[in-house]
Chains A and B, each alone.
Chain A
Amino acid sequence: DAKTTQPPSMDCAEGRAANLPCNHSTISGNEYVYWYRQIHSQGPQYIIHGLKNNETNEMASLIITEDRKSSTLILPHATLRDTAVYYCIVRAYSGNTPLVFGKGTRLSVIA
């Protein structure tokens, strides 16, 4: 079973920041938080991952709480093309272990 809890759906106005929360209260010390997204009928796309420090790349920012029990993915300026299902996944960083997907959050960006 997935080790994360996410809201089933969220809306965001185009051009505004989209903040997607994730709860992972049982995360272990060697587990990272990964975010993927899946646009309709496509394969999932990697967004970002982190251990305990905040991370930023060209797509998004990842904010992890100090106790590591929750995190937030931030899309700074959402566009219509960001409409997708977003998956938060907790995974150990070694041995090429498979990903365990929950149902994710369906983000709808509205014009």
Chain B
Amino acid sequence: NAGVMQNPRHLVRRRGQEARLRCSPMKGHSHVYWYRQLPEEGLKFMVYLQKENIIDESGMPKERFSAEFPKEGPSILRIQQVVRGDSAAYFCASSPIGQGEQYFGPGTRLTVT
């Protein structure tokens, strides 16, 4: 059973471009979570999704950031018009139900130049 997969593992974008980060949850998991980790800091919750629904987006910046988890395919975290402050590691996690243990992916490291 493959674990949580994220791609790309590394992404470089120039200021003003768009970044798309993908997360494929573990098989059978319908709950997905996105976290951001700035250099030398802890993880910050961003958003919690179930298929086709956003359950909690209280950690998402109000502008430029959006997330989706369609009925088919991976969850996508989209950052429009990236700025240098968006440079961070973005981790995705999944769980089979909305409780208990979360399984994390290896992360996508975004660098904005």
Q: Are A and B co-members of a single complex?
A: no
